[in-house]
Chain A
Amino acid sequence: MSTASGALGAVYDRGYRPYEGPRGGRREGAFALYRASIRRALGIRRPWRQKVFPWVLLAIATIPAIINVGIGYVTRDQPRADFQFITYREYVGVSSALLLFVALTAPDVVCPDRRHRVLPLIFARPLVGSDYVLAKVGAIGTILFAFGLIPQVVLFVGQMLVSKGALNYFTDNAEVLWKVPIAVLLLAVYYAAIGVAVSSLTSRRIVAGVAILALALVPSVITGILLDSGDRNGTGVLAVLNLLALPLHLRDLVFLGHTDPEGPLNGVHYGGLLAVIVYCVVLATSFGILFARYRRPEG
């Protein structure tokens, strides 16, 4: 070690210290990429402008829960104390607004890697294309799951606390403790896979964001028009082509055991099964695009 000392201090040339500690492999590398993608999506270690959107969105998504709990508190001594502003099942539908989050964050965690040619740096590590895909989809999916679940937790805990008997409320509503996570998970995986797959096709964030919204909203509008104008019995099957609402049919299967009696799939033979099949096809297509896109490691 060499030093250059002076009256005000010393400059140390510490040279190079070899690393002799533990080393992980693919799993640890992919997990590091996953964590880095979550940090990026949430704006952690980034300028404050990048932090605002996700947390504001989470706050907005939690507002219905707060309102519901507030109403429950105010009306706790009223005859209709069991009034609910929003049900757990409906709240999963509110989470479909997280598509806006996907349209902004999925391109942000995927497109810059291609645009700024970071992929060669990533794939010079002990990682392969599928690790990259799973890390990115996992990161977006995890945030969506958390943002879909946290308001439900607020709702559940709040309702439990303002109810006349917390234990009774817990036991009466215990089934949502598994139904909500499953329904939110189905929604999160679906939106994350679509968002990351679309983002993988371009290096421009704005193009990816618009494409994600268009992919979700255009079929939604078209199927909405067709369902409203046509013979409901004949066109109900088209509801499964509404990519935005497709996971909500699966939500209904989880919560109700069948499709929504007031929903567009009501009366469609095997409507629930059809929704599951289309859901799986969309997921398979998304992952197919992603694995093909990152089959060559340098993208």
Chain B
Amino acid sequence: MDTSPSFALSGLTKSFGAVTALDDLTVTVPRGSVGLVGANGAGKTTMFRLLLGLIAPTKGRIEVRGQDVQADPIAARSRLGFMPEHDCLPPDQTAADLVATLGEMSGLPTRAARQRASDVLDLVGLDEARFRQIEGFSTGMRQRTKLAQALVADPELVLLDEPTAGLDPIGRQEMLDLVKRLGEFEISVVLATHLLDDVQSVCDHVVMIDGGRLVLSGPTTQLLERAGTVRVDVEGLNDVLTAALAVRGLTSSVLDDGTLEVAGEGRSTDELLDCVRDVVADMQLPLHSLSTRHASLDEVFLRTAGER
């Protein structure tokens, strides 16, 4: 059984003239749903183009499911599905015709491509609309068509570039539900987005890049856990407690309601909770309340990027 990761980058650098889009990225990304997170211009789309073998890296190595992309970009592409961010659908074709044709271009026999097109359009909820011209489609239907064409050749890994862009809240949730379902079908997903909520709700693993550099990479739950904080209320004695926590390597700040928020770089919220509890107990301070607070990916990103 093939257990190779979704993709692995080793010292990957891509420059366009004087501009360095990706700078010495080294990361191994496991199978499953992976969020590729970064602000606009962070290098997400460039990374997709590199993974697809559409552009060559300036330096470094890329492997997609164990396949060296530079050595054989065609073989790498035959394992991938790609959903671009921008509008890319010919308006004067039906969804069924477009998806089937693209399936054939991926190497499927004609009959199989037609059947697969029907299946994936059904899967994305366009079963009734598949014989309509795309020019009459709403934004949500276009996004679903783009997803269907990425799935038609049954790829091992799908690259989704901002799949929820331009969707209303309901459409966005439906798209995220679809993306989440891909994991059930053993299709790995890389979801590039700047919407961290999307990643948090769908992805098992997060890769954050900023300005072309790797910020962090790891399991989503672990990142959130490690970015969590503890809130402690020892009324009137915050200064004393802050000093004691600092000795243990913990940082704390006073919130508007007078409670103290304590953060510990690299520690899970459980570890943090134990540590704060022990400090309070050792100092025999009058403890009013002690609670944990889970972070969002937005906070993780802002905090980590801010530290760099």
Contact = CB atoms under 8 A, between A and B. Distances in A.
Contacts of A46: 92
Given A24-B107, A122-B105, A297 B89 contact: no
A124 interface: yes
Given A117-B88, A121-B149, A21 B80 contact: no
A116 B109 contact: no
B134 to A, nearest CB: 9
Given A15-B185, A19-B153, A36-B101, A118 B107 contact: no
Of B91, B97, B108, the most chain A CB neighbours within 10 A belong to B108
Of A14, A46, A124, A125, the most chain B CB neighbours within 10 A belong to A124
A126 B78 contact: yes
Given A21-B112, A297-B54, A298-B49, A125 B77 contact: yes
A22 B181 CA distance: 25
Contacts of A112: 90, 92
A120 B78 contact: no
A123 interface: yes
B102 interface: yes
Interface in B9-61: 49, 52, 54-55
Contacts, number: 115
Interface in A6-42: 14-19, 21-26, 28-29, 32-33, 35-36
A25 B107 contact: yes
Nearest to B151: A16
Nearest to A21: B112
Contact of A126 (B54, B106, B181): B106
A126 B49 contact: no
A80 interface: no
A113 B122 CA distance: 26
Interface in A54-70: none
B121 to A, nearest CB: 12
**Chain B facing A: main interface SS:** mixed
Given A15-B185, A116-B88, A118-B89, A23 B123 contact: no
B107 A116 contact: no
A125 B106 contact: yes
B90 A116 contact: yes
B231 interface: no
Interface in A104-121: 112-113, 116-118, 120-121
A28 B107 contact: yes
Contacts of A23: 78, 106-108, 153
Interface string B172-190: 0000000001001111000
A32 B104 contact: yes
Interface string A223-256: 0000000000000000000000000000000000
A127 interface: yes
Nearest to B152: A19
A184 to B, nearest CB: 29
B137 to A, nearest CB: 13
A26 B109 contact: no
Interface in B184-199: 184-187
B130 interface: no
A145 to B, nearest CB: 23
A218 B105 CA distance: 38
Interface in B57-84: 74-75, 77-78, 80-82, 84
B87 A19 contact: no
A268 B187 CA distance: 67
B107 A126 contact: yes
Contacts of B204: none
B39 to A, nearest CB: 22
Given A19-B116, A32-B101, A126-B74, A117 B106 contact: no
Contacts of A296: 54-55
Contact of B90 (A28, A32, A118): A118
A36 B120 CA distance: 20
A45 to B, nearest CB: 6
B277 interface: no
Contact of A121 (B88, B91, B186): B88
Contacts of B261: none
A117 B77 contact: no
Interface string A117-148: 11011111111100000000000000000000
Contacts of B154: 18-19
22 contacts: A14-B123, A16-B187, A18-B154, A19-B154, A21-B109, A21-B112, A25-B78, A28-B104, A29-B107, A32-B101, A33-B105, A36-B104, A113-B90, A116-B87, A116-B90, A118-B89, A121-B82, A124-B82, A124-B150, A125-B105, A125-B107, A127-B74
Nearest 4 interchain pairs by C-beta: A32-B104, A19-B154, A24-B107, A124-B82
Given A16-B120, A25-B74, A117-B86, 19 more contacts: A18-B185, A18-B186, A19-B108, A19-B153, A21-B109, A21-B112, A24-B107, A46-B92, A47-B92, A116-B91, A117-B84, A118-B90, A120-B82, A122-B102, A123-B52, A123-B54, A124-B150, A126-B75, A298-B54
Interface of A: 14-19, 21-26, 28-29, 32-33, 35-36, 45-47, 112-113, 116-118, 120-128, 296-298
Interface of B: 49, 52, 54-55, 74-75, 77-78, 80-82, 84, 86-94, 97, 101-102, 104-110, 112-113, 116, 119-120, 122-123, 149-151, 153-154, 181, 184-187
